[in-house]
Structures are given as C-alpha cells and as structure tokens.
A and B are shown apart, each in its own frame.
Chain A
C-alpha cells in the first residue's frame, strides 16, 4: 500500500554553530577561547581571526601580532620557541 501523502518542504531554517577547528581550546597568549575573541575585540569570528604558524600553533591574529611586534630579535613561537613564521 502506497501512501498518497507528500511532504513538500517550503523552508528549512536550521541552526548551526561555527568553530575555528583549531586543535586547542584556548589561545596560548590571551588564554581566551579560540571560538571567542581576543581581549581587544568585541566580536568573534571574522573580526578576530585565528592565524597558524608554520609550527602549527594557532593564536588570535591580534595576539600574535602584538607578540611579534614586541620582540626585538627574531620572533619565536610562544609555545614551542621555534622561529615564528606565518603559515602560508
């Protein structure tokens, strides 16, 4: 017996959350959540992106920039002390 009822979807409004998909929970510099934002930002996401170093450590962009700019010699990764290079 085959039903004659058809369901037509007019609109499906779903809910999703986004994540940076970083391996760690929090930024090693500001200790704030990666999916949150750095202390200087108001809004997470596009306004406060993450950046990965060639060593695969991730930080809030604003945090690592501050760190890099404060170093007199070659900047090192705050986590592993290797030379800091932005992952291309």
Chain B
C-alpha cells in the first residue's frame, strides 16, 4: 500500500517537475519557475531519482536547443554553403560578409545558450539546496549538481559539431583574413602610435561586462577604430569558444595571420635586393600580428597560457583570467606565437630569396643586403640544402648553356663564391654549388684565356684607380689574402691563454654535409684564385697563357710604361710562386732594360748626327723617331716573324740603331723583327692630314704610295717583301680608311690600288656624310673609277644587309618611320618630292 502511495507521489512529483521545467524553458526570460522547482526536485531526489531527473532535464534542453537555436544558426550560412565555388567568391568580395552574418548569428545563439545556462543553474541551485538540507545523502546529489553544467556544455558543442556544415571553417577563415587585412591597413596608417598599449582597457574589458561599449574619448579615431576592430574580433572569437569551437577558431585565425604574414613578406621583399628586409619583417611582426594576438589574448583573458592544457570545452566562467596579466611581460602563449611567426617569416623570406638567388648573385655586390638576409634566415631554419638544390638547377638552366659567354660564367662564378662565402663561411655548400660550374667550364676552349684576362685586365694597378668593377680580380684577391692573413695572425701567433680557451670553446663541428675528405674548416680557407685555378687543372697552364698574353701586350707597347704589369706580376708571384713566374719577370725586365738602352743609343746617335748634319736631311727621318723594344728571345713565347722590307729611309735608321747597339754592348748583336712593333704616322694631303697608329707592314705599304700613287698588288708585294695574299689582307686596312681605293685592272687577280687624293673635293661640302661625299668624288673622277664606285656601293650594301639580318624584322610603326624620315628632311639630308623621299643633292 505504501509502495503504491510512493509511486503515485513520485509520478505526481515527476509530472510537476516536467511542467515546471517546460515553463522554465519556455519562459522567455522569466525565471520565476526556478524557485518553485526546489521542493519538487527535493522530493524526487529523496526518492533517489536525481540522475534520471538530470538526464531528462538535459534531454529536453537539447531538443529545444537543436530545434530552435542551432537550426536558426546554420540557416544564416546556408546561402554560402549551398552555392558553387564561383559564387562563393562573390560572397567573399562583399564588404561586410561574413562579418555581419557571423556576429549576428553568434549573438543570437549565445543569447539562447546563455538563457539555457540560467535554467541549468536554477536546477543546480535546487539540487544544492536539497543537498544542504540532507547532509547524509550529499555525495550522490552533489555528483548530479556538479556534473550538470559540464554535461550541458558537452551537449551544446556536440550538437553543433554534428550539424556543422563543411564550409563553416572556410567562412571563419575568410572572416579572419578580412579582419586582419583591415587591421593591417589601419596599422600602416598609424605608424608609431600604439593603440594596444593600454593594457588596462582590456583588463577592464575582460573582467567587467563583456558587451559594454567602450568609449574611447580623446583618442585618435584610427586608434579607437583599430581597438574596436580587435574588440569585435575578440567578441567573435569568444562567442565561438563559448559554443565549443575553440580549436577550429584558433586554426582559423592562425592560418589567417600566417597568410597575412606571407603576403607581407612578399610585399616587403619584392625584387629589390639592395635593401635588407628582414628587420622590417620582424618589426612588422611586432607591430601587427603580435599586437593583435596580445590584444586578443588579453581580451579573451587567457594571456597566461591555459588553453593548451584544457579540453576544447570552456565555460565562460572558466575563461576568466585566473591571474592578472603582467604588464609588459609577454605571456607564454605570446612568446610562443612570436617564435612561430618569426620562424615562418624566416622560412618564407628564405624560400623567396632562394628562388631568386641567381638574380641576386648577378647583382652582387649591390645585392649583398639580400644575401645577408638570406644568411640570417638560413641560420635560423637550417635549410641550406634547399638552397643548394635550387641554385644548382637554376645554374644549369640559365648559366651553363651555350648562349652564355665564358666571361659571364666566370664572373657569375666569382660572384657566387663571394656571396656564398658570406652565407656559409665553411665553404661546404659552395663546394656543392661550384662543382657543376667548374665541370662545365672545363669543357670550354676559351676558359683559360678568359680567366687570365679576368685576372689581369681592368683598371687595376693604378694606385689612384677606385675599386670599381673595372678593378682586376687579382687586386681584389690580394686584398682578400691580406685580410685573411691578418685574421690568421690573430688566430695563431698572438693569442694569450684566455683567447685560446675562448677559441677552443667556440669550436663547432663541420656541417653534416661536409665531405670528410676535404679537411676541416680550419684548414679550408676559401681561396677564390685556388678555386679558379682548379677549373683549369694546373697553374702551369694558366701561367703559360698569361705569358702569351703578356708578350702580345708588351710587344704592342709604344712606350715603356709597364708599372701595372709589374704590379700584376708581383701579385701573381704571391699566388703561384716566384719560380713559375721567372720567364715573365725576365720579359718585364727586358722592357726596363730596353728603355735604358734605347735612351742611351738615341743620345749617342743624336750626337753623331749633329756632327754629320747632312745625313739627316737626306733621309728626312730623324733618329729621334725610332724606339726599340729589345727582347731576350729565349724567354719569350715563340714569336711569329714575317719578312718585311721597310722603306730604305727606315731601314737605314734600323741598321744605324743596330750598329750602335753592337758598339755599346759588344759582342752582343741586335736582330730586328721588322714586322713587329707599332708605327705612328701622319698622312699629309694638301689641305688635311690624318694620324694613324699602325703595324709596320701598314706603314711600309702606305709609304710606297709616296713615290707612286697607284700600285698593283703584285708589284707592291714584291716591293715590301711580303706574299701577295698577305698584302691583300693588310692593305684592306687602308681601303677601309678611305685612303686607298681598289680597282680591278686587266688581271682580276692583280687589282690596282690608288691613293684617294681628292684635295679639291674634300672642302666642297664638308658636312655631308661620307657616303655622298665619296659619291661626289667618284663622279667627278670620271669613268675610270666607276667600277670601283659600284663595287664600293655593293660592299656597303652587304654591310647594310648585315645589319638587316641582325635585326629580324623592321618593327617600327609607319608613324615612327615617317617621323624618322622627316627628321632627316629637316636635317637637309633628304628631300620630299611628289610623295617620295630623295637623297638631297
């Protein structure tokens, strides 16, 4: 009987509990049913139904939540989720999308949840008050009351996550990207001032009422704007967390920040390698994303890192700051973010620079800031092998091709050495990168020649020469060597114990990529010259090539100025040793001796010619004009000598000189190499004169024309003692200068050369160009030279044709052509008649 009563009472209480909870849920903000719940709950608990009651309560809340709030919430995003990829872009470009929808939807659902929580709290109170009155049953009911709220939170997030549309994370991502971009623009606008410095504001904000509108009076509008922006973002983040989307939210804003950082790095780095950007990037990280994160974390109240440890669930109470953030001391989360962002920035910049390393090295040393940046990045990321792989492939693709000149390759190689030496002083990566270049250069025939030119040419040697690009490589190498020697000196000779200890402590192992066979870094000084010589294989070949080039250079000197060559030789001696440069030294010594001997001979000759004054007048050539380079032929590279009969007057000079040499240097004798040397001469016509610097053979040719104005090539060849074909080659020098003209006589193999001796015509029209000038001359000379005129014109035509071939097609517009031609008309070169252009006469 009592059992039936009990059951009836229980049923009765249960029904009342259900009514009351329905009233509570449907109360639309009215929580008056809450207190009335207590006796019913107490009764049911007394009957041992606490757990049942709790489950029932949660289940009904879930039903309401699912059917009202969640459905409404997702509906807001349906237009986006249901559209195609193309249409989604349209959404993204809308100004306030998804900001408006997102914050509105979040606000609604949070409000709903907030209300439901209050209901839950009402039940919790009822349970607690029951527990207070009946201490002996405390444990069981307490269990129910304390597990109620977590269970509710779990329910909310599981409902939301199970109904989550696939594209919701995408929406969040778009939202954060847009907001961060907005913030970035704002921050760029207010350089210097710091809207987030006011920690106080955010503390108040986070601990006091969340939704209070903060007035920021007396602040710049930009600052308050950005602060509002962060606050709005913070609100969204907080709401999302409140609903249990903690990790998804974090993913979203992290990826947005990373994305922004990446685009910022790309924007800052660009294609200008002359300015360092790493500093700017770091500063920007401090200025925008970190400030943002600091503000956000402070606002959310978990600037002390408590997010990683806890589960994804967080009640709004739990997210209250457990302690006050230290002002100026960055929290652990922030420090972690800082490191993460910097690493990412380093990596992005590094990838960017590695991709453009070839161009950067082309610009070296102007691009050294970029190299320096890259070095720092690589020190941080340690991805050197990425650099090696990428650079080798771009070398193969862009440099080591048939189209690149050997000189360019060598210069790029030297720049590469210099640049990589900065990045990696141990030279390990340089070895890897340099190998393909060296291999390739070994396959080229002109490599040695180019190397020697590169080493010895350029403005180098002049003490006053500024160290510009023309400076020869050897000079630079020498400076390098001096610097390295100085370092050596510090390292080994002059160290005290303390320094030795420090050196020992700073020892580092070679990078793992190092080839153990190549010795440790201490022995491996990066020697540019050594690396270059290793292309050729042996220094002997290089020295030999240098000797040949030096010989050619010295034999063509008309003064005895060899200071720069001496300097170069001294430098080469340092690198290659004195004995291998011995022959070159003798060659230079010959020049020095020649200068002395030459002046001795000339002084003694002029003394004799003063006493015998008549000789000079006969020959019309003074001994003054003759200089000689006297060589020790055994030590010079083989020199090509050709026979040449110089005019008698010159020959006289030469033999006088040789005689005098024999007198001074008995028993030594002088043997002329008549085809070698240089001659400065002046061609004198009646009204004009021209100066030339030519080889002796050219001088011999033109001097023959003093006696006779025209020669056939065979007779001329006999006169000067050279083969006909060689003469024909040489004489083209004078025809190309317009001094001689060639005409075909009766024998086609034996053309006649005539002096262009047109004194009367030259002053007639001195401004016209050479073409018309020559045309006029020949016209007046009459029929005899017509053939030659035609031939000249034909020659000129082929020259013009060569230019035409060189340029694939005429790519100028008709207008450009017209303006060019009208320019010629106004210069009186052309005239326009009847719509066609004519050469002006």
Contact = CB atoms under 8 A, between A and B. Distances in A.
A50 interface: yes
A81 interface: no
Interface string B560-589: 000000000000000000000010011001
A10 B691 contact: yes
Contact of A19 (B589, B668, B677, B757): B668
Interface string B681-710: 111111000010000100100110110110
A26 to B, nearest CB: 11
Interface stretch (B161-169, B337-345, B653-661): B653-661
A13 B661 contact: no
Contacts of A13: 557-558, 626-629, 677-679
Interface string A20-57: 11000000000001011000001111100010100000
Given A5-B705, A12-B650, A44-B634, A20 B667 contact: yes
A52 B668 CA distance: 13
Nearest to B682: A8
Contacts of B661: 16, 18
Given A3-B705, A5-B684, A16 B658 contact: yes
A1 to B, nearest CB: 6
Given A5-B705, A16-B658, A11 B679 contact: yes
Nearest to A33: B634
A36 B635 CA distance: 8
Contacts of A66: none
Contacts of B759: 4
B633 A17 contact: yes
Given A3-B705, A4-B757, A44-B634, A17 B673 contact: yes
Contact of A16 (B625, B631, B691): B631
B665 interface: yes
Contacts of B635: 36, 44
Nearest to A44: B632
A60 to B, nearest CB: 13
Interface residues of A, number: 31
B677 A42 contact: no
A80 interface: no
Contact of B703 (A7, A10, A35): A7
Given A13-B558, A15-B677, A4 B696 contact: no
A88 interface: no
Nearest to A3: B709
Contacts of A1: 709
User: Chain B interface residue count: which class?
Assistant: 35 or more
B631 A15 contact: yes
A85 to B, nearest CB: 17
A45 B632 contact: yes
Contact of B671 (A3, A8, A17): A17
A6 B627 CA distance: 22
Contacts of B593: 45-46
Q: Is the interface of B mostly helix, strand, loop or mixed?
A: mixed
B680 interface: yes
Contacts of B631: 15-18
Q: Is the interface of A mostly helix, strand, loop or mixed?
A: strand
A7 B625 contact: no
Given A18-B668, A18-B671, A3 B634 contact: no
A42 B621 contact: no
A21 B667 contact: yes
B388 interface: no
A11 B699 CA distance: 11
A3 B679 CA distance: 22
B629 A5 contact: no
Contact of B681 (A3, A8, A16, A44): A8
Contacts of A50: 667
Given A12-B650, A13-B679, A36 B634 contact: yes
A42 B582 contact: yes
Contacts of A35: 632-634
B680 A3 contact: no
Nearest to A43: B589
A11 B709 CA distance: 23
A4 B685 contact: yes
B555 A10 contact: no
B577 to A, nearest CB: 14
B777 to A, nearest CB: 15
A8 B632 CA distance: 31
A21 B683 CA distance: 39
B676 interface: yes
Nearest to A58: B667
Interface in B591-636: 593, 621, 625-635
B702 A14 contact: no
B678 A10 contact: no
B671 A19 contact: yes
Interface in B778-825: none
B679 A12 contact: yes
Contact of B629 (A11, A14, A42): A14
A78 to B, nearest CB: 20
Given A3-B755, A15-B676, A16-B670, A9 B681 contact: yes
B806 to A, nearest CB: 36
A14 B654 contact: yes
A34 to B, nearest CB: 9
Contacts of A33: 634
CB-CB nearest 7 A-B residue pairs: A15-B676, A3-B709, A17-B633, A10-B680, A13-B558, A6-B684, A14-B677
Interface of A: 1-21, 33, 35-36, 42-46, 50, 52
Given A10-B680, A18-B668, 4 more contacts: A7-B682, A7-B706, A14-B627, A14-B629
6 contacts: A11-B679, A16-B628, A16-B673, A18-B669, A19-B671, A46-B665
